[in-house]
């Protein structure tokens, strides 16, 4: 279960975002703030949310640096919610952008993708060793543990150990989840999967 904090000052936008969160299995709404609360960065850091959805214009001058501070201190997936014409104003601290003009199914899909992947901010693949990345790629390409062991000239026990470490570091236990992660992080390409078929 991933805990979500929402920072939006407009009531209807905040309420709609809260309702959207309830539609996605695995996400749980923790708190909502308007963005004008004193010492909001400290409050958010204390809660340690897995996902933080922010309407950047809702942040007061005092809280304007909140996304960058959260990005620097925690493994929190930062999501901006803006209008399409405001996309260029979203800082690189955000890993995902939700557009106000998008329909419910598109918004739900984006949030579901966050649930099946670690995301750029959270458990980044840089935490994996070079060997673990190689094994992750091969798993995502559909090789069995025995095939990976044969290909890399290592024991199947070693492959299993690396797989357990990958699962633990990324928080992803299923092969489809690892495939999505590998694709989203450009470790493999879609045509590589198709070529295997």
Domains with residue ranges and CATH for the chain: 2-116 (3.40.50.2300), 125-196 (1.10.10.10)
CA distance 143 to 148: 6
pTM score: 0.60
Question: Measured between alpha carbons, how far is residue 151 from residues 3, 5, 154, 159 in Å?
Answer: 40, 44, 8, 11
Return all residues near 120 (Cβ < 8 A) that are at least 6 apart: 95, 185
Strands in 27-33's sheet, in edge-to-edge order, are 27-33, 2-7, 51-54, 77-82, 96-99
CA distance 74 to 96: 16
Predicted pLDDT of residue 18? 95
Q: Read off the pLDDT of residues 67-123 as tens digits, 9 standing for 90 and up.
A: 988 887 777 889 999 999 988 888 888 888 999 999 999 999 888 887 765 444 444
For residues 32-38, give the mean pLDDT: 96
């Amino acid at each position: 279960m991933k805990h979500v904090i929402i920072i939006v000052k407009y009531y209807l936008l905040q309420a709609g975002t809260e309702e959207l969160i309830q539609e996605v299995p695995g996400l749980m709404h923790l708190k909502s703030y308007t963005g004008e609360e004193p010492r909001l960065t400290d409050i958010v850091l204390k809660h340690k949310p897995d996902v933080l959805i922010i309407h950047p214009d809702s942040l007061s001058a005092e809280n304007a640096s909140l996304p960058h501070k959260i990005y620097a201190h925690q493994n929190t997936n930062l999501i901006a919610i803006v209008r399409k014409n405001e996309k260029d104003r979203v800082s690189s601290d955000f890993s995902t952008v939700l557009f106000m003009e998008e329909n419910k199914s598109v918004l739900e899909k984006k949030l579901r993708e966050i649930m099946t992947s670690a995301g750029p901010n959270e458990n980044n693949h840089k935490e994996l060793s070079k060997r673990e990345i190689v094994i992750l790629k091969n798993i995502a390409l559909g090789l069995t543990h025995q095939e990976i062991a044969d290909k890399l000239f290592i024991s199947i026990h070693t492959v299993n150990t690396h797989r357990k470490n990958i699962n633990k570091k990324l928080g992803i236990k299923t092969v489809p989840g690892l495939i999505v992660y590998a694709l989203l992080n450009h470790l493999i390409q879609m045509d590589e999967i198709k070529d295997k078929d």
